[in-house]
Structure 1
Amino acid sequence: MWDLQLTKHWLDYFITSHDLLDNLNLLRKYPTALCKFTFLIWSLWKERNDCTFNNASFSPFRVFHKANSAYHEWQTRLQLDYHQLTGTPITTLNSTSPPPPSPPIMVRWYPPPLGTFKLNLDGSSKSSSATAGIIIRNSEGISISACTFNLGQTQAFMAEAIALHKGLQEARRLQIDNLLIECDNFLIIYAVKGVWSTPWKIINIISDIKHLLNLFTTWDIKHIFRETNSAADWIANVGHLIVGNMYIDPTNSQRLATILCNDYSGVTLVRRGS
């Protein structure tokens, strides 16, 4: 039985101990305890990131319940894998049936209203380079501008901020007045909206972005799931193959043309992220 008070004792013991290696060696003798402790540390790490980057308040109860849930989900997954490999009925592995799976979350891209344009953007960071990708579409889902930029070496959130800046500049060049913006990075969205304090590395570019947004008659920015941001993601990844920037014609790329067609047709995708 995974007890909350026992979890607290574990954390207190391991944090205050001067010989962590000995403690880990002790846990290796008890595989179940080591497994639970691993999930507990992982949940604690995720809670720390949530507090640091999302301004969430720390909750030991949330850490415990997430670790407990992840552990039992993993146990169920092991049982199902064993069942599939051996053909053994799942009832022989566990007296209780696993809970029914949650229904999948279906997502899709939506075209903007008539007279409004939509900017989708994405940043990509690999070991050798970082890139930005933008695409602007009208209410019929037709691309009126798509461009990729190789930014050299920089961090992913910086690439996302530059992608937004480049996209707004392109929208102004096209004399667009009404703009909807979709991005899969909460940090950039909340920094623009003033919900979160802006990291110092992008404070100047966020300031320029806010100035550009004031030039539009109407605008809005919102989060979009990565699965429905495929066009911008594909364009951003092309940037790793070039130097500088490049405009992309969708008619010259079967893959991008297919993505745009699926987006406008309302093809739904399964949300796989958490």
Structure 2
Amino acid sequence: MNELLKGKPVADAIVEALKNDTTVLESKDIIPCLALIRVGEKSDDIAYERGIVKRCDDIGIKTKKVELAENITQEAFLSALKEVNEDSLVHGILIFRPLPKQLDEKVIEVSIAPGKDVDCLHPENTAKLLTGDESGFVPCTPMAVMEIFKHYQIPLEGKNAVVLGRSMVVGKPAALLLLQENATVTVAHSRTKELEKITAGADILIAAIGRSEFVREAHIKEGAVVADVGINVDEEGNMTGDVHQDEAKSKAGAFTPVPGGVGSVTTAVLAKQVIKACKMQHK
């Protein structure tokens, strides 16, 4: 088996289910709404925002853009955040990161309303993830990986899983989600000794180290399932993952492509979290 775990079929399935949800909500005069808080004009943020708006429009979720100046003060940012926190017509909030250096992300993380925090910034949602409380919100990217595993019926229980990367955005949440599925999990990173030996023992390998094509054939166990979370740009301007795609083909039993893999599912997961937040707020 050398299966390509494409993201589009996964995203399409999620979207179709969400369209049913928005139809039911609309019948009750409820329109789910996501506020997008973007500071500055970074091309990556604008491209991501465009993808989110298109996805939400397709599902029936309203979007509210909050565009702030690159040099915005902490006080002004918190004021803008407070406004959407208190807006009863807004059900989810996404803040584009990283933020400019003059803004204190730690303060912002505790200032977002936990019930609208659809990408798991607030410590309350982090704690719920840690304890397996499903009323919280999980970071969208690692949740997208789990949706791919679920869609393609990848067995996780009892498997040896290695997460390569330890960020709060992907690595650590991915490890917790795998534990909830009864996998045996190792978290590795760039300073892990004998890294190839550890990753080559993994039945499930999630690569989220942020280095272009870092994972080579020697890192991969024969027949392993490899999820590539990396989004990098090489010297020629091509998008690459954290896994060398050609070498993954020769060794992995199944793997996600870049582009067209995990990233294409992330906006669908974000929309799913907005619907969840909307339902919870309207009980």
Q: TM-score scaled by structure 1?
A: 0.29
Structure number with higher helix proportion: 1
Provide the TM-score with structure 2 as the length reference: 0.28
